[in-house]
Amino acid sequence: MNNKHPLAVVILAAGKGTRMKSSRAKVLHEVFYRPMLHHVLDAVAPLQAQKTIVIVGHQKALVEDSLESYEVICCEQREQNGTGHAVLCTRHLLADFSGTVMILCGDSPLLLPEHLQQMLQRHASKRASDSPLSILTTTLADPTNYGRIISDAQGAALRVVEEKDCSAEQRAIREINGGIYCAESGFLFDALDRVTTDNSQGEMYLTDIVSIAVQCGFRVQKYEHPHPEHVLGVNSKVELALAHREIQRRRNLELMAAGVTMLEPDSTAVAPPVTIGADCSLAGGVTIVGRTVIGHGCVIEPGVFISNSTIGNGVHIGANSVLLDSNVDDGVALAPLTSLGARI
């Protein structure tokens, strides 16, 4: 997507994620064999932003090391003073930038580029008039733990109320904040300068820029995401497993559309770097990871594990075999329980 109007992307990735019950930074937890932060970066890549800034904090060095293959700028949030403070930390990096800033969370690995593009287009259609801010929302059957959207009679957002600050009436609202914003840079930093810590957490809430925009006489547009499950952040090991399963499902649909047969796709996992030819047949319980290359017309029986291997055309791999860092020539048939490249 070529944006004539300049675009910068800011990704919040500084938090620890206490609900994960882990010492590892939340955004480094893997979803379908990759850190969840990488999935977010892949979703924004087609937007062709002029700058992509990742805000780091907890385990700063480890997060930065994980980003070596991405063209991003890391910005440290030294003190965890809230999401508003995190974005404010990028001011010096955007001092020479004038355009739209898209702000996202690094723990939302299910986002798809097409919906982000739609949000940008919706924002672009209104920014020339009276709307320097757009917010992504969605509707949940159970909105617990999410900020609620307070709207006017015409459907524009008036403010966001965080769960801990909600009244009983506000908790009944099912439209929630999806944590993604499009803001014009001039408005954004002026608004952030006005954000206070007058809330139950004593933090600078990024969500306060919505009510600040309304106070300034602006209309805050909403992009209502059609798929709530894509928006939700990963905050626990249960949600991590659900996100893994969804990305596995997407990957398997792509492979089957390209001519790969999967007898039990729910139990079959083919990691993103793997390439696999048409007319291959994968039974249930197959896992293929690493930089594996598989030719066409192969049969892989149940329970096979393959990692970083090159498999020729027309190969038959027997059940419960393990292939690590191995090469298998065209037409070879491996018996069940074969072990190559590994000591078992």
Active site residues: 19
Cα angle, residue 179 at apex, residues 121 and 32 outer, rounded to 5°: 95
DSSP letters along 171-225, please? HT--EEEEEEEEEEHHHHHHHHTT----STT-S--TTHHHHHHHHTT--BEEEE-
End-to-end CA distance of the chain: 49
The torsion angle over the Cα atoms of residues 195, 159, 235 and 62, rounded to 10 degrees, is: -30
Please state, in angstroms and rounded to a whole number, the distance separating the CA atoms of residues 63 and 264.
35
Bridge-partner residues for 112, per DSSP?
A: none
| Contact of 261 with 281, CB cutoff 8 Å | yes
Three-class secondary structure of residue 117 per DSSP: helix
**Residue whose entry in the numeric block shows the structure tokens 């090469």:** 327
Task: Give me the numbers of helices (H) and strands (E) for the chain, helices first please.
Answer: 9, 25
Using only C-alpha atoms, what is the Rg of the chain? 23
